[in-house]
Amino acid sequence: MKKQIFSKYYLLLAALLLATSCGKDFLELEPKGTSLETNFYKTEAEIFQGLVATYDVLGWEGTDGWNMQLGLLNAASDDCYAGGSDASDQPNWVAWDNFSLNPLLGPQMGLWRKYYSGIYRANLILQKIEEAPSLSPVFKARTIAELKFLRGSFYFDLVRLFGNVPIFTSTISPDDISSVKQASPAEVFAQIEQDLTDAKNTPELPETVPPAELGRITHGAAAALLGKVILFQNDNGRMLEAAAHFEEVINSSNYFLEPNFGDIFKQENEFGPESVFEIQYASNRPGDYGCCFNSGPVNNATEGNYNIQFFGMRDYSGPEYAPGWSFCPVSTELEAFMKNDPRYQHTIIDGKALKQGGASYTTGFQNTDFFIKKYAPIAANQATDGETALAWGQNILIIRYADVLLMAAEAIVRGGGSEATARQYMNEVRARVALPAYDGSITGQALLTAIYKERRLELATEGQRFWDLVRTGGASEVLPGFVTGVSEYLPIPQQEIELSQGALVQNFGY
């Protein structure tokens, strides 16, 4: 039994590592064979394959069903509903939407597997890089920094999703699995901060990358994520520390706001001026639906962004867009909140207006006639080979410069720093869409409330809203079914608890 747990849930075969390809930019990589792990990872080229395989996990979306974190977080928030064809289309999505999760119902198994797969890959290559002969010091240092960033990123998602999770900083033997204990969130956050600090303080981690390496982590990405990790822990005594990391990004002159808000999410503008941390997808690796109905080992059959297909209008016929599956319809509350904001037209598709112009689509579950525009399926971007629904190539922006400015503003106010500087950062975001600046009459709690409002308007449907509600304590006020002290976390997958022979303990309330 121990060996089954070890092989099925924590380790991946070396062959799987070697066969992973991410489709474009620096992640374009042809498989080099399936050499035994013990004989591999000896050269820079082989170590680099392992690094690419670790990056690849960032984009996995077909692990134990449809488990796209962007869509799921939108559904869990008050930005969107679950949607789909009917209530039985994707029960896991509906369960998180209305907080009826239980240990056997919800997206937890796929998300757990995804992130621990990434952690295993990072740990394996960190181990192998120390054993490999003749690596150049610059290559070795940069690769270690990237792997630690990725491991920290995977743990950041895990601790926010599950709270008490096991920490692995090295590969372990099958006999050790059943003795592994869950760490507290504080312990997990400490490990994340250590990894990100190590990455950020590595001189060989570049400030910028050339076109051929777009997608690789930079110093700015490490600084921004480290600041975000501190911000999420809600310790006002550390807010100026978080702000300092954000201001490293701001003062680096490596990032600036895209002049036209509507251009940020155009596929041709990927890795634009405000991209700090971006997950790559590609449309040039055809695959089939086996990726999403596989209950065995982790499998992602394409390098496509499945969110795009999910967010589109079902059976759509009309201009600009391709048909989708009508998930994450925008809530009427968000639509009303954004109605008079200049970002509305670039954030929300008004289905009724399209129908009035002659378009048509099938009404889905929880239909509002409002749909996500930032990640909508644009017909001109549709793949021409394979299962086109699984082959959308639009990247996902995890951290963009506007987010950094607003996080910095929040951290400064909460930490008792210069409110003038906080207003300046927020006003930069507002000026981009020609909104009037806030003046010195708005201070204190009113200023903080304005920053939170700006975050929602600026980052709507980007998967940030749920986390913002959780970390600021506002979730129970606006999310029906949300129970404080329970709903902040997903249940630990029941399969994992059983296979761990009691080493894992279920989260409170489940």
- CA dist list (Å): 377 to 38, 272, 286, 316: 43, 20, 17, 11
Same topology for domains 2-230+486-499 and 231-282+393-472, yes or no?
yes
The domain at 231-282+393-472 falls in which architecture? Alpha Horseshoe (1.25)
Confidence label for 299 from pLDDT (cuts 50, 70 and 90): low
Banded model confidence at residue 19, pLDDT cuts 50, 70, 90 = very low
Q: What is the pLDDT of residue 322?
A: 98
The pLDDT-based confidence of 179 (bands split at 50, 70, 90) is confident
Average pLDDT, integer, range 168-179: 78
Across the range 90-111, mean pLDDT stands at 97
**pLDDT for residue 383 is more than 80:** yes
Q: State how far the Cα of 247 lies from the Cα of 230, in Å rounded to an integer.
A: 14
pLDDT of residue 35: 54
* Residue 290 pLDDT class (50, 70, 90 cuts): low
Q: Are 139 and 185 in contact (CB under 8 A)?
A: no
Q: Which amino acid is at 466?
A: F
Residue with more model confidence, 32 or 466: 466
Q: What integer is the mean pLDDT of 183-189?
A: 98
Angle (CA) 98-100-104 rounded to 5° is 135
Of 305, 364, 286, which is closest to residue 68 (Cα–Cα)?
305
User: Could you tell me the two tokens for 224?
Assistant: 């921004």
Answer yes or no: is pLDDT of 371 > 70.
yes
The model's pTM: 0.93
DSSP secondary structure letters along 349-401:
EEHHHHHHTT-B----TT--SEEE-TT--BGGG--SSS-GGG-----EEEEEH
pLDDT band of 18, cuts 50, 70, 90: very low
User: How confident is the model at residue 23, as a pLDDT?
Assistant: 39
Q: Which of 365, 374, 322, 333 is nearest to 80 (CA)?
A: 333
Contacts of 410 (CB under 8 A, 6+ apart): 231, 239, 422, 448, 451, 452, 455
**Rounded mean pLDDT of 477-483?**
97
Q: What is the pLDDT of residue 150?
A: 98
Q: Which 3 state secondary structure label does DSSP give 295?
A: coil
CATH number for the domain whose boundaries are 2-230+486-499: 1.25.40.390
3-state secondary structure of 95: helix
Beta-bridge mates of residue 102: 105
- Structure tokens of 360? 């048509």
Q: Compute and round to an integer the Cα radius of gyration of the chain.
A: 22
Say if residue 11's pLDDT is above 50. no
How far apart are alpha carbons 329 and 369 in whole angstroms?
Answer: 7
| 8 Å CB contact between 40 and 14 | yes
Residues 6+ away with beta carbon under 8 Å from 203: 141
Amino acid of residue 99: F
pLDDT of 4 above 50 = no
- The full set of domain ranges for the chain reads 2-230+486-499, 231-282+393-472
Between the alpha carbon of residue 168 and those of residues 119, 232, 328, the distances in Å are 8, 22, 34
Helix (H, G, I), strand (E, B) or coil at 409: helix
pLDDT score, position 14: 33
- For 253-272, the pLDDT digits (tens) are 999 999 999 999 999 999 99
pLDDT of residue 286: 73
Residue 448 is predicted with a pLDDT of: 98
Mean pLDDT of 338-342: 98
Measured distance CA(417)–CA(443) in Å, rounded: 12
Q: How many CB atoms lie within 10 A of CB 336?
A: 10
Query: For the chain, what is the mean pLDDT?
Result: 91
DSSP string of 327-352, one letter each residue:
BSPBPHHHHHHHTTSTTHHHHEEEHH
Average pLDDT over residues 94-101: 98
Q: Give the pLDDT score at 298.
A: 47
Instruction: Name the least confident of 38-47, 263-272, 307-316.
Output: 38-47
User: Length of the chain in residues, anyone?
Assistant: 510
- Residue pair 221/303 in contact (Cβ under 8 Å)? The answer is no
Give yes or no for a contact between 448 and 410, defined as CB atoms under 8 angstroms apart. Answer: yes
What's the pLDDT score for residue 405? 99
Q: How far apart are CA 110 and CA 115, in angstroms?
A: 9
At 52-70, the pLDDT tens digits run: 999 999 999 988 889 999 9
Asked whether 216 and 146 are in contact (CB, 8 A), the reply is: yes
What is the pLDDT at residue 417?
98
Instruction: Yes or no: say if 84 and 109 are a contact pair by the CB < 8 Å rule.
Output: no
Structure confidence by residue, pLDDT tens digits, 386-434: 889 999 999 999 999 999 999 999 999 999 999 999 999 999 999 999 9
Poorest-pLDDT segment among 49-58, 90-99, 213-222, 498-507: 498-507
DSSP for 140-169 reads HHHHHHHHHHHHHHHHHHHHHHHSSB---S
Token pair for residue 11? Answer: 């380790």
Strand partners for 327 = 83
Confidence of residue 25 (pLDDT cuts 50, 70, 90): very low
Q: How confident is the model at residue 502 (pLDDT cuts 50, 70, 90)?
A: confident
pLDDT at 70: 98
The tokens describing 36, both together, are 């035994």
> For residue 293, what pLDDT is reported?
52
Largest CA distance in the chain: 67
Select from 58, 70, 80 the least CA-distant residue to 364: 80
β-pair type (348-350, 370-372): antiparallel
Kindly provide the b/e burial profile for residues 127-136, where b requires at least 16 CB atoms within 10 angstroms of the residue's own CB: ebbeebeebe
Please give the residue that has the higher pLDDT: either 7 or 284: 284
User: Which pLDDT band, with edges at 50, 70 and 90, does 36 fall under?
Assistant: low
Q: Is the pLDDT of residue 38 over 90?
A: no
Residue 151 and residue 50 in contact, taking contact as beta carbons nearer than 8 Å: no
| pLDDT number for residue 8 | 29
Position 199 scores a pLDDT of: 98
> What tens digit of pLDDT does each residue of 196-252 get?
999 999 999 999 999 999 999 999 999 999 999 999 999 999 999 999 999 999 999
